[in-house]
Amino acid sequence: MRLSTRHILSINDLTKKDVLTILATASSFKEISERPIKKVPTLRGRTVINCFFEDSTRTRLSFELAEKRLSADSSNISKSGSAMANKGETLLDTVRNIEAMRPDILVIRHSVAGAPAQAAGATRARIINAGDGMHEHPTQALLDLMTINDVKGRMKGLKVGIVGDILHSRVARSDMLLFKKMGLEVTVAGPPTLIPFGVEEAFGVRVASDVRDVLPELDVLMLLRVQRERLGEHFFPSAREYARYFGICADDLKSAKEDLAIMHPGPVNRGVEIAADVADGPRSVILGQVTCGVAVRMAVLYLLLGETHSE
Amino acid sequence: MSSYFIVNGRVIDPASRTDGKLSVLVRGGKIEQVTPSRKAPEGAQVLDASGCVVAPGFIDMHVHLRDPGQEYKEDIESGTRAAAAGGLATVCCMPNTDPVIDCASVAEYVLEKAGRLGATGVIPIGSITRGGKGEAMSDIGDLASAGACAISDDGRSVMNSGLMRRAMEYATAFGLPVISHCEDAALAGGAVMNEGLVSTELGLQGMPAAAEELMVARDIMLAELTGARLHIAHASTMGTVELIRRAKRRGIRVTAEVTPHHLTLTDEAVSDFDPNTKVNPPLRTEADRRALIKALADGTIDAIATDHAPHNIIDKEMGFEEAAFGISGLETMLPLALALVAERKLTLKRLVEALSAAPARILGLKGKGSLKPGSDADITIFDPSAAWTVDASRFASRGKNTPFNGLRVMGRARWTIVRGRIAFAG
């Protein structure tokens, strides 16, 4: 089994068949994490470098665990500890230096949109985009889809609402692309200041001015983290007002389907975009997303090396 | 000083309404004669311009030579060699250098170095405000006396409308036009490309067309209020074109320029995050591009200017959001503009006018922009059907930053003559 693409820079790189392959592979890898000895020799001798030029804890840990469980040799570059990232080298210089050490896969997280795509031109290694600026975070979308599929037992025709800061969210961009690709229907909602220009046309989604209007028909509700720094940028007046008009609390869910799944890519701002009793309530599958994250990342690492893994 | 007799070319000089198979005699650094005769006067070297257009030396009224201060990106010598190779006889350099051209001594430095090392003519543009900071007026009178041809805070707008009004009023006393970079800083935010479907897809912060149009509208109002000559730099949107069109109809003294890249590319070019497509103002939509071409053809937009913005590789290899804005444009200007002629969107005569007579008129450059006898012998001789492939590594400019690398194009300069001296022979 292998994917049709060398890199995972965007959901656009993946065919529908690729997505199904990744989900099926991830399902089988999920079981490894349940074993007492959580390790298989699949990627023994392969080198993965995690280039986290932007701070991240959960995504990085998720990739590291995925690599270790497949027995890959992994190294890390972080923004704070990296001379490469801090001493005036260009992004491509850094990538060329890493390339000279012959890695098999680079996992790149960067605050600049398109950085992994640019890096792909400077290395023979496979590249996984672990989040680039406001652009995309494809493995997050894959783990979101896996979670939905696990919970609902299907994907096609499901109705998903994504609420919050769509404008600045790479997760929302990848989710919209992936969910549309796999036949789910997507509605986005949030303050108009945080809905990007032309999102209906660009991503084929519906925009609701108030998610409560469409809540009864939704199967999945994805809430996005509200960044505190947006407060100073005039996107909304205050966290209190955001919570009141755009946050979701238990009362709002009275009109929702019994089996509505509540999702959140984390970290959660309890009391802002989501009330604590919703985040921790029976409909929440937020921790399930985290579990799926390791499995999905194991799957893409394995599949990207494809037929070459046994060379 | 050598004499040249240019024969067998098609002479196009919109300023003197000349278009025909004529010969041009250059002597003593001046145009001596434009004549149907093909017989070279004694002592004159013959330049055979068969298949070529002989035009007034092109003037680029908007370039960044990066000198003083950022010579690692470009300097007056390399920038003017690039200009000559691109068919330009004169370049006007923007003042956002380090130090800024905000007083006579910096303008004099540019003129002195250009006189010594420049392949083409160089005329500095002074800043409107001290340090280009938008806070206090520069020594505009001194700048004019030193030889500046206009004032501009290119790179940003003067956000203080009161200060902009006073600067426009003051500049009229010295006959200088005010060149405005139109961008409402707060509305543009930290945007890196056009706001539209592509920015939404790419997750890049977009700059709405309104950020430009607001300032165009403001500056047109201020031009009407003050009677100043306003020139809109690098017009990029349909709305800007409409504002200029209406202002001209009302007799307000406004002119405008457009860059070859805004006439050629749209924001779709950004889709693969190539930092060489990052420019300010950003590449806009196809509708904007079409409106710009139409406005250039009908004279609403007067001139073509490159906004030549050379950068070193370290300024561009940063990832799109962190990369510097700008295209190294001098050496691709001519073929990009000629492509519009080949597509019949622009006449050859109008193109020549937009590159010669129009900038000379806007900036009040005496003896430039025409082949009339007595004018400076600034002549661009170009072959519109010469096919070549853009290879940035062979640019004379230090800036190799171009989105057109590898593009097959038609048209290039054969000779660029500056005040009677051959500055480039291709």
pLDDT tens-digit map of A145-159: 999 999 999 999 999
- Per-residue pLDDT of B183-226, as tens digits, reads 999 999 999 999 999 999 999 999 999 999 999 999 999 999 99
Q: B181 to chain A, minimum CA–CA distance in Å? A: 25
The pLDDT-based confidence of A85 (bands split at 50, 70, 90) is low
Give the model's pLDDT for residue A209.
Answer: 86
Report yes or no: B90 and B111 within 8 Å, Cβ to Cβ: no
The pLDDT-based confidence of A311 (bands split at 50, 70, 90) is very low
Mark whether A135 is an active-site residue.
Answer: no
Do A170 and B203 lie within an 8 Å CB cutoff?
yes
Residue B75 has pLDDT above 90, yes or no: yes
Instruction: Concatenate the DSSP letters of all residues of A194-220 into one string.
Output: GSPTTHHHHH--EEES-HHHHGGG-SE
Measured between beta carbons, which residues in chain B are less than 8 angstroms from residue A134?
203-205
- Per-residue pLDDT of B274-283, as tens digits, reads 999 999 999 9
Residue A202 has pLDDT above 70, yes or no: yes
Instruction: Provide ipTM, 2 decimals.
Output: 0.83
Q: What pTM value is reported for the model?
A: 0.91
Mark whether A109 is an active-site residue.
Answer: yes
CB-nearest to A198 from B196, B203, B318 is B196
Q: How far is CA A177 from CA A135, A137, A202, in A?
A: 12, 11, 10
SS (HEC) of B293-305:
HHHHHHCCCCEEC
Phi, psi of A210 (to 5 degrees): -135, 120
Mean pLDDT on A104-130 = 95
Residue A88 has pLDDT above 80, yes or no: no
- Per-residue pLDDT of B222-241, as tens digits, reads 999 999 999 999 999 999 99
Output DSSP code: residue B37.
-
Residue A83 has pLDDT above 70, yes or no: no
Find the Cα–Cα–Cα–Cα dihedral B115, B116, B122, B123, rounded to 10°: -50
Residue B47 has pLDDT above 60, yes or no: yes
CB-nearest to A113 from B197, B204, B318 is B204
Measured between beta carbons, which residues in chain B are less than 8 angstroms from residue A133?
203-204, 321
Phi, psi of A59 (to 5 degrees): -65, -40
> For chain B, what's the residue count?
426
What is the C-alpha separation between B317 and A96, in angstroms, rounded? Answer: 12
CB-nearest to B197 from A134, A135, A201 is A201
Residue A187 has pLDDT above 90, yes or no: yes
- Tokens representing A77? 């570059």
Residue A116 has pLDDT above 70, yes or no: yes
Q: What is the mean pLDDT of chain B?
A: 97
Do B319 and A173 lie within an 8 Å CB cutoff?
no
